[in-house]
Amino acid sequence: MKNYIITTYAENNIGILNRILNIFSKRMVNVESLTVVETEENGLSKITIVITSTEDLVSNIVKQINKQIGIIKTAFDSNTEVFYQKISLYRMITKSLNFHEETIPAFNTNSMQ
């Protein structure tokens, strides 16, 4: 058993996430992490799922996902093949949308880079 990261590009339709997740619950596989983000391409979402599984199982699951209508492509990597980048997002209240250093007193743009 290893950690696998599954990445799938799906049309942004209602219910498609259900369809994908259903494949995991049908196989009694626990989804450890799930993110859905819109991509630059209109109407497409990138869905990233982390599971613990065997290579056989994850490749079967990926084929099942790929088979769903609305999925553009799906791939998987084992955890060791992936580089991590840590990103943090902060939400702050500002009075205006001018990104002057004054509006973000605690951080300056340099420290964000």
Partner 1 sequence: MFKIFNWNSGIVEKTRMKNRIMTGSEAVMQSLLDEQIDTVFGYPGGGIMPIYDALFDYQNKINHILTRHEQGLIHAAQGYARVSGKVGVCFATAGPGATNLITGIADAMMDSTPLVCIIGQVASPLLGTDAFQEADVVGMTIPCTKWNYQITSGNKIPEILSKAFFIANSGRPGPVVISITKNAQLEKISYNYLKTSFLKSYKSKTYPEYKRIQEVATLINQAKKPFLVFGQGIILSGAELLLKQFIEKTGIPAASTLLGLSALSSDHPNYVGMLGMHGNYAPNLMTNKCDVLIGIGLRFDDRVTGDASRYAKQAKIIHIDIDNAEINKIVKVDIPVLGDASEVLEALIPLVKSGSYKLWMKEFKDRFSDEYSQVIEKDLYPKDDKPNMGVVIRMLNELTNNETILVTDVGQHQMIASRYFNFKNTRSLVTSGGLGTMGFCLPAAMGAKLGQPTKTVVAIIGDGGFQMTLQELGTISQYNISVKIIIMNNSFLGMVRQWQEMFFESRYSFTDMESPDFVKLADAYIIPASRVTEKSKLMQAIKKMLEHNGPSLLEVIVEKEDNVFPMIPPGASVDEIILKLQSNKNV
Interaction site with partner 1 (CB under 8 A): 10-11, 14-15, 18-19, 22, 26, 56, 59-60, 63-64, 66-67, 69-72
Of 34 and 104, nearer to partner 1 (C-beta) is: 34
Supply the minimum distance, in Å, between the C-beta of residue 15 and partner 1: 6
Instruction: Please tell me the distance from the alpha carbon of residue 51 to that of residue 23, in angstroms, as a whole number.
Output: 12
Supply the minimum distance, in Å, between the C-beta of residue 112 and partner 1: 37
Supply the minimum distance, in Å, between the C-beta of residue 53 and partner 1: 15
Of 22 and 94, nearer to partner 1 (C-beta) is: 22
Question: What single DSSP character describes residue 95?
Answer: S
For 23-34, b/e burial (b = at least 16 CB within 10 A) is bbeeeebeeeee
Q: Which helix (H) or strand (E) holds 20?
A: helix 16-26
Amino acid (one-letter) located at 29: V
